[in-house]
Structures are given as C-alpha cells and as structure tokens.
Amino acid sequence: MRHTVPLAPQFYVTAPQPCPYLEGRLERKLFTALHGEHANLLNDALSKQGFRRSQNVLYRPSCSECTACLSARIRVADSRPNRTQRRILRRNAGLTRHVGSAWATEEQYALFRRYLDARHADGGMADMDIFEFAAMIEETPVRTRVIEYRERDEDTGADRLVACCLTDVLGDGLSMVYSFYDPDRPKASLGTYLILDHVRIARRTGLPFVYLGYWVPGSPKMGYKAGFNALEIYRHGRWADIDPNADYSSETNPVEVETISDQVRNISLPEPPVSRS
C-alpha cells in the first residue's frame, strides 16, 4: 500500500517587542518548530515563502501594523557584479574559502564578539556567550555548512579567520543564515564580498538562488541588499524582481497586514515522500 501523511506543523506568534530596523515600531514573528525526519522538506518549502531559520525554528515577520520586512533572494543565473562589486572581489582575491560542518570554534566566537561589539553592541545578540554561540551554529536539523574565509599572514605564515557565514543548503539555493566578519577592515566590504562569493558557489553547484534574509525599505542596516542586481523580493505571496523605481513605503501600511489565521491558512506545506508498506 502506498500512502503519505501531510506535514502539519503548529504555528505560534511571539509577543510584540521593539523593532530593530524601524524606530517606533513593534515587531512580531510567526514561527514553527523545525525537527524530525522531514526537517529539510519543511525548511525548503517555507524558505520559498519568506521564512528564515534560527537554530531549530522557522520564522517570518508577522507584525500587526507593518509589512516592511521583505524576504530577498538573488537569482543566480542573471546576477552580475557591478563596477563597485568587481572592485570588492579583486580587493579580497587573496582570501581562501574553507567549507566545513556546522561546528563552532573559539576562533569563530572571538571574531563574532569583535563583530558584535563594533557593529551591533545594542542588538539582541549582544550578550551571547560562547555556549549560546555554539548552539546557534550547531543546533541545526537541516543541511548546514560553516563557510570560513581566511587570510595568510605573510610574517608568520598562519591563516587568520577574517569572515564566516552559517549557510543552509536548500533544494533550490543557499540561505545565508548569519554572517560576521572582521570589523577593522571596512574598506574590504567583507559583508558584500560574502554575498558575492555565495553567488559564485551557487552558480558552480547549479543552485538557482541565494537567500539573503530580509530587506527592509527605510532601514540603514538592511538597505545594502538592494544594491545587488537580479534581486527578487517575496511580496503578496509571490517572488518578483525588485523595482528600483518603486516606492515601497506602502509596505508599512497596516491595511496591508493579513490576520494571523489568514497567514497560516495561506502557507503551502510539503507532502513527505511516499512510503511503502
């Protein structure tokens, strides 16, 4: 007999808290647990619908008065670096890439702490200790890699870690879960370089997309993502090219917000593989 049992995860909503991107607004997240033998299927399906992963949780913004956070991804086949980005690639040509399993190290944590202290000292991760950092890296039920970028010290010959990205391998792309880098190298534009290099990796492995997380119009922290061409945003239930001439300020209009029940009802869940008995 052939049969399938549909996946039916439970969805929850967080309590409102201050938005880290737009002053004076409150954020709220719709989330579900990610675990079990079908975790990769669920991660793939919900990532295509604007969700992001944090350890063993998938979440999507579900704010009661705002829809400004738009999930963004790069269409790899059509992506070409612009003049500034080509300079960034040349500037970082000496870095070597090392792809490993989702395993945290003290060296990574030291770089992570320097990055947070310099860039996000007042953020939600500011107090994260080494054990919480290890959980962020290692608690993953899906295909996850740690991609390190190292620079050779000409005096000692040792490799020094200068950037790192926690990356999920989806069925249709690479999802950049979290990245951090040396804050003392602003001219290297390492954040942009990591994205450009992920596009190269995806292209070489035949994956069509690189998922960047959320683009937030009007937020200085997230505005850089609009600088990549072939960028798509998830809006009104579908992916579409970002329009450089459009005014996305309407995305903060509370009239745009669906009820929680409608949001959950409109989520497409995957069917698990057919089993035989």
For the segment 243-259, what is each residue's pLDDT rounded down to a tens digit? 877 877 667 777 667 88
Q: What is the pTM of this model?
A: 0.91
Q: DSSP string spanning 222-271?
A: TGGGGGSSSEEEEETTEEEE--TT--GGGGG-GGGPPPHHHHHHTPPPPP
pLDDT at 271: 82
Q: Tokens standing for 212?
A: 């960047």
Helix (H, G, I), strand (E, B) or coil at 221: coil
pLDDT under 70: residue ranges of the chain:
1-7, 121, 249-250, 255-256, 274-277
Residue-level pLDDT at 119: 83
Is the CA virtual torsion 39, 44, 50, 55 positive or negative?
A: positive
Phi, psi of 8 (to 5 degrees): -140, 70
What pLDDT is stored for residue 2 in this prediction? 40
User: pLDDT at position 218, please?
Assistant: 78
At 74 the three-state DSSP class reads strand
pLDDT of residue 229: 92
Q: What is the dihedral of CA 247, 249, 253, 257, to 10 degrees?
A: 80
CB burial readout 116-144, b (16+ within 10 A) else e: beeeeeeeeeeebeeeebbebbeebbbeb
By the 8 A CB rule, do 4 and 52 touch? no
Do residues 104 and 137 make contact, with C-beta atoms less than 8 angstroms apart? yes
pLDDT at 5: 42
| Spans of all domains in the chain | 2-276
CATH of domain 2-276: 3.40.630.30
